[in-house]
Every structure is written in structure tokens, then in C-alpha cells.
């Protein structure tokens, strides 16, 4: 099935990818989520598999078809994603965290439907675990890639995340730009790495963007091996 040389450049590598939004229940009828479609993460999973990798895709709710040949794990909450990621992390060579994980979840999930009353209603939220931050602490041989969806100061915020989370690469995108971000089929990303000038890719399909990201990772892993 795979013919070109580049198609095999991830052969023998175990790649763990997270994708999509997370979903946190407030009561049996309401939930808290975000606009992530999962497209970028699913494209990364599909392209990594084509490049010969053994891929595990851990995804929040998404309507996208599961790419062929990929081990698929479906989760809903940030906590479930945390548990599954930690389970597959030790054996992974490359981890790409493209999921849009909730930073907060309702402090209390009501067992019965909340009934309306007069006046305002206040929901208290608590912090979720930062999965990428935790992976950064536990990192051994793994190559760690995070994403950063920003609305301003793209490179500055991405560099901050790279350092804070001990990641090897941050894929930053400006979600306010037309043709980039959540449900679009295209993206405009900037690849941010330590001690390197950020590399801004042009407007590309999410598949083409995925290929470029994976090629950049492959280059860096080759450098590390020598
Ligand atoms: N991330 C994570 N766990 C969380 C929140 C974020 O693993 N609880 C990961 C995302 O998957 C992404 C990276 O951290 O790869 C950056 O996510 P982002 O939301 O851009 O950054 P935050 O650190 O959450 O900062 P903020 O939302 O305040 O910009
Ligand atoms: Ca966040």
C-alpha cells in the first residue's frame, strides 16, 4: 500500500495522538464543551499511519470517520483523556496533543435535571489536570508535541507553553484568521521549537499541514538519534 520512501519514515514508531473536544456534564441534559472538530488530529493520525507509524488515537466526541489502521479510543471528559493518555504514554515514541481539552469542569455534576428558578444561576468550575504538563514532567524518550490555539500574541504564548510544559514542539494557530482554526478544512500553523526561529506554514489543507508537521518531527528525531 505504501510506495514512496517518505511514506515509511515513521516505520516502527509508536505515535499517540489526541484529538477533538472534551465534554463535561453539568446535569443529565446539559454539558460544557468547545468548538474543536477533531479534523487536525484525525488528519495527523491518518498521515502518521501512512508514514508507517503504529498509531493510537484518543478522541473526544467527533463525527469524523476513524482513519484506517489506527487504534481508536473514545473518551468524553478531560479526566478520561488524562487516564487513557497516561496509559499509552510509556510505550509511545511521539505524542501529539491536538485535543482541545477543557481547562475547567463543573465542580459538581447534578444527578437530576436542574430546574429553572427566578434570577441568575451560577455554576462553579474547577480546574482539570493539564495532561501535556504532566507528560512534560514524566517525559523520558518521548518526543512531545503540543498545540496552542491563540487569538493574540501567537509566538509569545506558544513559546511560553513550550517552556512551561517541557514540550519539544508547539504547533500554534491563530483561530481568528480566516481559513484556520476549528471547523475549517484548512489551517495556517506556526511550528515553534526551542532555539529555532518559528516556522510559519502557508494556508494548507489539514492533511497537508499534518504531513508537514510529521516531516518536521521526523527530521528532529533523526537529529536526536545521531
Ligand atoms: N492541554 C492538555 N490538558 C489540558 C489543557 C491543555 O493537555 N487540561 C494541552 C492541549 O492539548 C494543547 C496544549 O496543552 O496541546 C495547549 O493547550 P491550550 O489550551 O492552548 O493551552 P493552555 O495551557 O490550556 O493555556 P490557555 O488555554 O490558558 O491558553
Ligand atoms: Ca486551554
Give the tens place of pLDDT for each residue, 89-106.
999 999 999 999 999 999
pLDDT value of position 182: 80
At residue 14, the 3 state secondary structure works out as strand
pLDDT value of position 1: 47
Instruction: Answer yes or no: is pLDDT of 67 > 90.
Output: yes
Active-site residue set: 34
- Confirm whether the ipTM is greater than 0.95: yes
Contacts of 155 (CB under 8 A, 6+ apart): 172, 190, 192, 198
Ligand 1 atom at minimal distance to the Cα of residue 145? 15
CATH topology of domain 6-102+124-225: Rossmann fold (3.40.50)
Identify the residue whose C-alpha is closest to ligand 1 atom 20. Answer: 148
d(CA 74, CA 58): 6
Ligand 1 atom at minimal distance to the Cα of residue 78? 8
- Ligand 1 mutation pick, 32, 88, 105, 146, max ligand atoms within 8 A of CB: 146
Centroid of ligand 1 to alpha carbon of 186 (angstroms): 21
Q: What pTM, to 2 d.p., does this model score?
A: 0.95
Query: Where are the chain's structural domains?
Result: 6-102+124-225
Q: Name the band, by pLDDT with cuts 50, 70 and 90, for residue 4.
A: low
Centroid of ligand 2 to alpha carbon of 117 (angstroms): 32
Binding-site positions for CTP read: 103, 113, 147, 161, 165
Cα 183 to Cα 85, 102, 107, 202: the distances in Å are 24, 17, 29, 18
Q: What average pLDDT does this structure show over 118-140?
A: 97
Instruction: Answer yes or no: is pLDDT of 145 > 80.
Output: yes
Q: What average pLDDT does this structure show over 177-182?
A: 81
3-state secondary structure 179-225: CCCCCCCEECEEEECCCCCCEECCCEEHHHHHHHHHHHHHHHHHHHH
CA angle 140, 146, 151 (to 5 degrees): 155
Instruction: Answer yes or no: is pLDDT of 2 > 60.
Output: no
Percent of the chain residues past pLDDT 70, beyond the cut: 96
d(CA 49, CA 55): 6
Binding-site positions read: 103, 113, 147, 161, 165
Give the tens place of pLDDT for each residue, 25-35.
999 999 999 99
Cβ count within 10 A of residue 178: 9
- Ligand 1 mutation pick, 98, 103, 135, 191, max ligand atoms within 8 A of CB: 103
Would you give the end-to-end CA distance of the chain in angstroms? 30
Q: What average pLDDT does this structure show over 195-222?
A: 95
Instruction: Answer yes or no: is pLDDT of 60 > 50.
Output: yes
pLDDT value of position 178: 81
> Do 173 and 180 meet the contact criterion of CB atoms below 8 Å apart?
yes
Amino acid at each position: 500500500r505504501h510506495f514512496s520512501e517518505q511514506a515509511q519514515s515513521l516505520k516502527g514508531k509508536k505515535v499517540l495522538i489526541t484529538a477533538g473536544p472534551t465534554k463535561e456534564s453539568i446535569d443529565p441534559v446539559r454539558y460544557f464543551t468547545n468548538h474543536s472538530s477533531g479534523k487536525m488530529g484525525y488528519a495527523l493520525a491518518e498521515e502518521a499511519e501512512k508514514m508507517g507509524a503504529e498509531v493510537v488515537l484518543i478522541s473526544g466526541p467527533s463525527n469524523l470517520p476513524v482513519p484506517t489502521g489506527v487504534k481508536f479510543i473514545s473518551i468524553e471528559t478531560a479526566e478520561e483523556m488524562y487516564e487513557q493518555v497516561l496509559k499509552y504514554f510509556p510505550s509511545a515514541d511521539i505524542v501529539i496533543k491536538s485535543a482541545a481539552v477543557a481547562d475547567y469542569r463543573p465542580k459538581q455534576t447534578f444527578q437530576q435535571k436542574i430546574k429553572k428558578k427566578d434570577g441568575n444561576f451560577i455554576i462553579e468550575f474547577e480546574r482539570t489536570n493539564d495532561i501535556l504538563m504532566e507528560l512534560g514532567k514524566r517525559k523520558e524518550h518521548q518526543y512531545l508535541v503540543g498545540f496552542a490555539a491563540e487569538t493574540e500574541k501567537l509566538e509569545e504564548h506558544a513559546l511560553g507553553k513550550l517552556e512551561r510544559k517541557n514540550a519539544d514542539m508547539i504547533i500554534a494557530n491563530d483561530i481568528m484568521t480566516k481559513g484556520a482554526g476549528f471547523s475549517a478544512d484548512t489551517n495556517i500553523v506556526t511550528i515553534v521549537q526551542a532555539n529555532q526561529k518559528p516556522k510559519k506554514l502557508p494556508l494548507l489543507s489539514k492533511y497537508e499541514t499534518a504531513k508537514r508537521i510529521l516531516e518536521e518531527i521526523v527530521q528532529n528525531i533523526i537529529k536526536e538519534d545521531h
